[in-house]
Amino acid sequence: MSHTVILLVVTPLMTAFLLSMTAIPHKVAYTTLKRIRMLLSVSGFAGLCVLLGTAGPHVLSGEVLTYQLGGWSPFLGIALRLDALSFLMATIAVLVSFLTMFYSFSYMERMRGLGKYDTFYFLMMTGMMGVLLTRDFFNMYVFLEILGLSVYILISSGEKKENYKASLKYLVLGSLASGLFLLAVGILYHVTGSLNMDYAAQGIQGIVERNPSVAALVFALFVVSLGLKSGVVPLHFWLPDAHSMAPSPVSALLSGIVLKITVYCMIRVVPFFGPQFYQGVSPVIASVGAATVLGGTLLALSQKNIKRMLAYSSVSQIGIIITGIGIGTDIALKGALFHILNHALMKSGLFLCAGIMIHQSGTRDIPHLRMGTPGIAASFVVFSLGVVGIPPLNGFVSKFIICYGAVKAQYDGLAFVILIASLISCSYYFRVVQTFFSRRQGEKKEKRRKKKGEKKENDPETPLQLSNWMRIPVYILAVLCLLLGLFPSVGLKAVELAVTVGGG
């Protein structure tokens, strides 16, 4: 029990190490190696699930599990902490990446270097778990870099020109963001003398009172660097490229959880400066969130490529979460955290569906998309209704709570912005849904092509056999969305606990 917290970081790291040894280009043992890789990946995730399961009852009863690395006191060494907030985020991350892993068994099979893909998949899990658990700012930077590096490699695993370009663009901006983060950590250490969040939080109180400009500088550096990584509107320009050019399962992970990790850092960092400071900056963060909501929605409206559209939609949904954090009341924070959970399920589902649809139709243009199978189309409809926020689905509940929190905190304009954005998002999601019902256009083009004797469009993602590996994760995500919408109290209970920990 005492080592559960550190094992959450070590398990994926060890799995990554073992997986890296199976990445041998050996033709004879190809199927054996593939089986070993599958077994290792599944057992790695099973281990994570077991660890979360053993820690779950303790955390949900309000206990906070801490771990001192190497037995050093938290002032000198690195402390890890698993509380309700990090437990919630870790559960989301493990759940979504577990399902996406099954999808990528089948999806990534045609791509070379599957062993590499699995290795960096687990390194990414290591980075995420580390960021979620650590109580040390410098350690957070290191884990953010581990997460970043493995994500850059995962994006480039499609091995096409576009993948490399998107990956490098993300790398340059990600490094710039971590540079700013490191500068903030440096100034923070300089003025407070500690890197541990609890000790530095005590030190920063005095700084906020005596020298508010330094506190504001540190805060601004944190928010700009984390905003750059989570695609807040003036800094969102890299996001659509990275998220749309990556292979579909990687896009699902990027939009579904990697963005949420930086938002989680923001939830940790913003209240860190004390309640008074929080109240002072709350209108700024809330208006940045509102700008992100509007900007993302309007840009998504003009997209023709389905994955770019989904990426811009992610920008606007992140904006809704940031608005919730900015308002800062318990209700709004509850809505924001619940929206993190919901958006992780919905957007990863949407990207997985989009991957299947792109394969089936051989194009990314929305008017020429085909629905794949009726089951996939139905799941796509469920996810898009969820993102738009139609009542029986989970997206409605969290958006409603955020809007309710906004109105209660006298931010009526923000609630209005979120509602308008939902209305606009209707139009761009239903444009995709509409193509499922109008087959004629696609058939016409097919006929014309046959007449001219042209080949099918040479899209990088060519059709592939649709296997159950790919279908079932999508269905599970869709069912989870429906269940969370019908019985939101289950999710809300966990979220409420997390708010009491994270808000303070």
Q: Footprint of another protein on this chain (CB under 8 A)?
A: 138, 142, 145, 149, 152-153, 156, 160-161, 164-165, 167-168, 171-172, 175-176, 179, 182-183, 186, 189-190, 195
CA distances from 207 to 99, 273, 373 (A): 45, 9, 59
Backbone angles phi, psi at 180, to 5 degrees: -65, -40
118: exposed, middle or buried (Cβ count in 10 Å: 0-12, 13-18, 19+)? buried
Rg of the chain taking only CA atoms, in angstroms: 22
Classify each residue of 74-87 as buried b or exposed e, where b means 16 or more C-beta atoms within 10 Å of its C-beta.
Answer: beeebbbbbbbbbb
Q: CB of 228: closest distance to another protein in angstroms?
A: 12
User: Closest approach of Cβ 40 to another protein, in Å?
Assistant: 24
Closest CB to another protein among residues 145, 496: 145
Do 316 and 428 meet the contact criterion of CB atoms below 8 Å apart?
Answer: no
Residue among 8 and 224 whose Cβ is closer to another protein: 224
Instruction: Please state, in angstroms and as integers, the Cα–Cα distance from residue 110 to each residue in 22, 113, 241, following that order.
Output: 17, 9, 23
Report, in Å, the least distance between residue 404 CB and another protein.
41
Per-residue CA distances from 365 to 281, 309, 368, 459 (Å): 41, 10, 6, 11
Nearer to another protein by C-beta: 207 or 371?
207
Length of the chain: 504
Question: What are the Cα distances from residue 118, in Å, to 33, 285, 350?
Answer: 12, 37, 22
Shortest CB 186 distance to another protein, Å: 5
Least distance CB 123 / another protein (angstroms): 11
Asked whether the beta carbons of 44 and 15 are under 8 A apart, the reply is: yes
Tell the smallest beta-carbon distance from residue 146 to another protein (Å). Answer: 8
Tokens of 405: 């929190």
CA atoms within 13 A on the CB side of 45: 21
CB of 30 to another protein, least distance (A): 25
The first and second tokens of residue 152, run together, are 């850059």
Helix axes 330-361, 306-327, angle to 10 degrees: 180
C-alpha 176/C-alpha 168 separation (Å) is 12
Provide long-range contacts, Cβ within 8 A and 24+ apart, for 384-387: 384/350, 384/429, 384/430, 384/432, 384/433, 385/429, 386/342, 386/346, 386/481, 386/485, 387/313, 387/317, 387/343, 387/346, 387/347, 387/350, 387/425, 387/429
Shortest distance, CB of residue 223 to another protein, whole angstroms?
17
**Least distance to another protein, CB of residue 180, Å:** 9
Nearer residue to another protein within complex by CB, 224 or 377: 224
Nearer to another protein by C-beta: 88 or 188? 188
The secondary structure of residue 245, as a DSSP letter, is H
CB nearer to another protein: pick between 173 and 253: 173
| Residue 129 or 432 having the CB closest to another protein | 129
Please tell me the distance from the alpha carbon of residue 227 to that of residue 490, in angstroms, as a whole number.
30
Residue placing its CB nearer to another protein in the complex, 82 or 265:
265
Of 3 and 190, CB closest to another protein: 190
> In angstroms, what is the minimal distance from the CB of 42 to another protein?
28
**Least CB distance to another protein at residue 298 (A):** 22
Whose Cβ is closer to another protein: residue 95's or residue 228's?
228
- Residue placing its CB nearer to another protein in the complex, 154 or 325: 154
Q: Is 328 in contact with 385 (CB distance < 8 Å)?
A: no
Residues 6+ apart with CB under 8 A from 421: 293, 294, 296, 297, 316, 319, 320
